[in-house]
Amino acid sequence: MGTEGPNVPLLVSTKPDDHDNNFTYINKPSFLLKSTKWVLKFAMWLIFISWASFLFFAPLDSVNNVYSKVVNATNGTLFGLTGSIFLIYSGPVLVIAFLAIIYLRICGQEEIQEKVKKTASFRLWTFPVIVDGPFGVVTAAELIGILLFGVYIIWAVIAYTIKNISLLPLFEITDIRTRNLLLLELTGLRFGFIGLVCMAFLFLPVARGSILLRLIDIPFEHATRYHVWLGHLTMMLFTLHGLFYVIAWAIQGRLIEELTAWKSIGIANLPGVISLLAGLLMWVTSLPPVRRINFELFFYTHQLYVVFVVFLAMHVGDFVFTIVAAGIFLFMLDRFLRFFQSRKTVDILSAKCLPSGTVELVISKPEGLRYNALGWVFIQIRELSWLQWHPFSVSSSPLDGKHHLAVLIKVLGDWTEKLRGRISSVPGETDGLLQPNVTLKASVEGPYGHESPYHLTYENLILVAGGIGISPFIAILSDILQHIRDSKPCLPRNVLIVWAVKNSDELPLLHSLDLNSLCPYFSNTLNLEIQTYVTRESEPPLEDGKIPKNVSSSVYHGPSGGGMSSLVGTGNIMWSGAYLVVSTVGLIVLVAMLDVFYINPYNITHWWYKGLLFTICMAASVILFGGFVIALWHLWDIKTRKSSEDENSISSLQHEDSNGFKNPSQEDHVNILKYGERPNFKELFGSMAERWGNVDIGVMVCGPTALQTSVASECRSKNFGRMSGMNRRPENVYVWKH
């Protein structure tokens, strides 16, 4: 490939005589746009580093003295001590979220840019450091985060222990036993504060569509593991917090008295006991052995987070609770928005039973719904269950159709068995006839996923899938081909798909995709190779050229306007921003009104009561002020889709005709099918390095944990080999776990 100048096109027309100039021109952003973006990025990093540094060094007397001066200086304002602590601990998080609105708006106006680097590079967010351990596959950036939290815990415990010992003489206690018991209580107090600092981060990863997750471009399935890690750490600290107090009170013979104490001024113990018990129940049922055996038990007990949060606020009072208020507030915003979206029923336009024990659902969506090919949706079908929600990868490209998206569902459990039985008159057989006159409705949350289409930003891609894990890669491949067809920005030039399946009846999931219908002459621009491994069969069970057929599709004629709501996921950033800003302003207004018209006139001093009132203000601001924005957003959404309502019909599902099985002899790509083998990633990655050279290779893996571990291990060895000069032709590979 020739040298590329700054304005050399990335893609051109897909005509065969143009294949030597396989790039299309991309306009670069203006200087003002780039400058504004960098200023915003610098400001957000500065605020975050300052905030994190304050949290980290808070045990130091010098930092604590400055903090006390700031609090005292603002204590006489309208919001008093609560407002001061809220501004210091929670304010930076909300300010970053506000700046993120502008930043994401600017980024949304940019196109995919050509990479300047032509050699392999090292990236903290994608380089796998640990591939097999208690944390699973851990990248360099994730390892840095884990180490920082670990260092903070050790440092804070040591610093606060020294401080506790230095405080003992101030109590003028001469009895050694009493001094030791006091030291136990002070230690428990410090563990509680450290737990609050960790809890400040706890709810941020599970706000699925929040501005902050979109800012750092981490999809919820990645962020959830951070919530799990933080949850274990937080509950361990809170358990130690309670345990130290319980031991001290038991030794003193006043355990029951203290556990049931509910002080008006000071810490209310009983609400803390209730909060801790709720947290412990959530913690125990979230452990892997329990979650694997009974997921519903885990799911339902996790709804106790409401009890956990409310009684925590009553336990510590309003001003201490503001330490964790920002993360909880952002989660409440996300949860209310998801609740509003999930109330809407969505038309399932068609359903199809595949011979591999897989169901394909095609769901109605509005034309303006924005998502990337690596998207996820949560689906609830009330005919099957009123309570169960299940996540599925979107298997269709955003370019496949204006008014629908598709998901592939592997039949594995009771819920999926019921779904197949609902569609097919012979649930146990894949060639059964579909039930006539059956209609299905679904509620949908999402789509969620990456803010940026990462699969379009690498010239070289390796996609590794296991079984139904091919679903998001079908969307990726379709997306790449349609970007090439439409001359849209798209970097991939070499794509290798490695797919491992147990049995050959799963092959139609990928091999039925008619690539030439999606993009004629794509081979002039894209070098595509598909290597499929059927691991449990030693030879083809079918005659040459014979491929299993799909069950006929069932098309459901639902009422018009039954498409998904576009309120969640990677939706309109301006409406999302307005929802956040208006709700935050509403919170400030409600707290101010509460102080002016109730707390100050009536001299309300009960800590637990003020903590309860503060949580009520948070909820009310989300429901009242945020609900007002959602109502306007919903009306705007209805108005914008009315113009295209006539197009939202079953006739728009032309993709189904193009997804028929085609003759393998017409393939314009390398298609290798092996039986009785498993992919050898060392050989595969080595051969790609020899073929593609010293370049960035994006590696995406979707499948079982063992598959992720194997791929990540080889990625790590190739990266380490590159850095140590062991490879003759080094490459850089990244792991993306879906």
Q: What is the pLDDT of residue 505?
A: 80
Report the alpha-carbon distance of residue 211 to residue 193 in Å, rounded.
27
User: If we measure between CA atoms, which residue out of 721, 665, 217, 690 comes closest to residue 494?
Assistant: 690
More confident residue, 532 or 488: 532
AA identity, residue 304: L
* Range scoring the smallest mean pLDDT among 418-427, 648-657, 666-675, 682-691: 648-657
**Under 8 Å between Cβ of 465 and 473:** yes
Q: What is the pLDDT of residue 282?
A: 96
Residue with tokens 């949290």: 55
Report the alpha-carbon distance of residue 699 to residue 679 in Å, rounded.
15
- Per-residue pLDDT for 734 more than 80? no
Residue with tokens 């929600």: 389
**Under 8 Å between Cβ of 374 and 454:** yes
* Range scoring the smallest mean pLDDT among 229-243, 570-584, 641-655: 641-655
Q: Is 16 exposed, middle or buried (0-12, 13-18, 19+ CB in 10 A)?
A: exposed
pTM above 0.75, yes or no: yes
Report the alpha-carbon distance of residue 655 to residue 403 in Å, rounded.
11
Residue 537 has phi, psi (to 5 degrees) of -130, 135
AA identity, residue 667: E
**Strand pairing of 441-448 and 732-737?**
unpaired
Residue pLDDT, tens place only, 460-517: 888 998 888 888 888 888 888 888 888 887 888 889 999 888 888 888 777 667 777 7
- Per-residue pLDDT for 21 more than 80? no
Question: Which CA distances in Å does 497 have to 462, 465, 500, 713?
Answer: 6, 8, 10, 18
**Under 8 Å between Cβ of 349 and 556:** yes
Q: Is 710 exposed, middle or buried (0-12, 13-18, 19+ CB in 10 A)?
A: buried
Please, which residues bridge with residue 404 across strands? 364
AA identity, residue 544: D
Q: If DSSP codes are grouped into helix, strand and coil, which group holds residue 401?
A: coil
Could you say which DSSP state residue 625 is in?
I
* Range scoring the smallest mean pLDDT among 26-30, 162-166, 196-200: 26-30
Complete edge-to-edge strand list for the sheet that includes strand 494-501: 670-675, 527-534, 494-501, 460-466, 696-702, 732-737
More confident residue, 565 or 233: 233
DSSP string, 570-613: S--HHHHHHHHHHHHHHHHHHHHHHIIIIITTTT---HHHHHHH
Report the alpha-carbon distance of residue 275 to residue 504 in Å, rounded.
52
**Under 8 Å between Cβ of 678 and 535:** yes
For the chain, give percent helix, strand, coil, nearest 5. Answer: 55, 15, 35
Question: Which CA distances in Å does 418 have to 195, 346, 359, 362, 555?
Answer: 43, 19, 11, 17, 19
Report the alpha-carbon distance of residue 372 to residue 394 in Å, rounded.
9
Residue 427 has phi, psi (to 5 degrees) of -55, -30
Report the alpha-carbon distance of residue 425 to residue 423 in Å, rounded.
7
Two tokens, residue 676: 């009785």
Q: What is the mean pLDDT of residues 514-529?
A: 80
Could you say which DSSP state residue 434 is in?
B
Residue 361 has phi, psi (to 5 degrees) of -115, 135
- Per-residue pLDDT for 278 more than 90? yes
The pLDDT confidence band at residue 611, using thresholds 50, 70 and 90, is very high
Q: What is the pLDDT of residue 307?
A: 97
Q: If DSSP codes are grouped into helix, strand and coil, which group holds residue 701?
A: strand
**Chain mean position to CA 445:** 13
User: If we measure between CA atoms, which residue out of 85, 68, 54 comes closest to residue 591?
Assistant: 85
Residue pLDDT, tens place only, 101-125: 999 888 765 555 544 344 445 566 7
Looking at the chain, how many residues does it have?
738
**Under 8 Å between Cβ of 411 and 364:** no
**Strand pairing of 390-393 and 376-380?**
antiparallel
**Strand pairing of 390-393 and 128-130?**
unpaired
Please, which residues bridge with residue 672 across strands? 531
Q: What is the pLDDT of residue 29?
A: 64
CA-based angle 112:115:117, to the nearest 5? 170
User: If we measure between CA atoms, which residue out of 351, 361, 346 comes closest to residue 425?
Assistant: 351
Question: Which CA distances in Å does 448 have to 65, 161, 229, 382?
Answer: 43, 44, 21, 21
More confident residue, 602 or 511: 602
**Under 8 Å between Cβ of 493 and 456:** no
Two tokens, residue 600: 């100050």
In this structure, what is the dihedral angle of CA atoms 555, 556, 559, 565, given to the nearest 10 degrees? -80
**Under 8 Å between Cβ of 280 and 287:** no
The pLDDT confidence band at residue 78, using thresholds 50, 70 and 90, is confident
Residue with tokens 């595509």: 528
Q: What is the 3-state secondary structure (H, E, C) of 176-213?
A: HHHHHHHHHHHHHHHHHHHHHHHHHHHCCCCCCCCHHH
The pLDDT confidence band at residue 569, using thresholds 50, 70 and 90, is low
Q: What is the pLDDT of residue 448?
A: 82
**Strand pairing of 696-702 and 670-675?**
unpaired
Q: What is the mean pLDDT of residues 378-399?
A: 83
Could you say which DSSP state residue 564 is in?
P
Q: What is the mean pLDDT of residues 195-208?
A: 94
Q: What is the pLDDT of residue 727?
A: 38
Could you say which DSSP state residue 655 is in?
H
The pLDDT confidence band at residue 2, using thresholds 50, 70 and 90, is very low
* Range scoring the smallest mean pLDDT among 340-349, 417-426, 596-605, 699-708: 417-426
- Per-residue pLDDT for 729 more than 50? no
Q: Is 264 exposed, middle or buried (0-12, 13-18, 19+ CB in 10 A)?
A: exposed
The pLDDT confidence band at residue 199, using thresholds 50, 70 and 90, is very high
Report the alpha-carbon distance of residue 630 to residue 337 in Å, rounded.
8
Q: If DSSP codes are grouped into helix, strand and coil, which group holds residue 333?
A: helix
Task: With residue 508 as reference, give the H or E element that holds it.
Answer: helix 508-511
Could you say which DSSP state residue 487 is in?
T
Report the alpha-carbon distance of residue 332 to residue 271 in Å, rounded.
21
Two tokens, residue 160: 């606060």
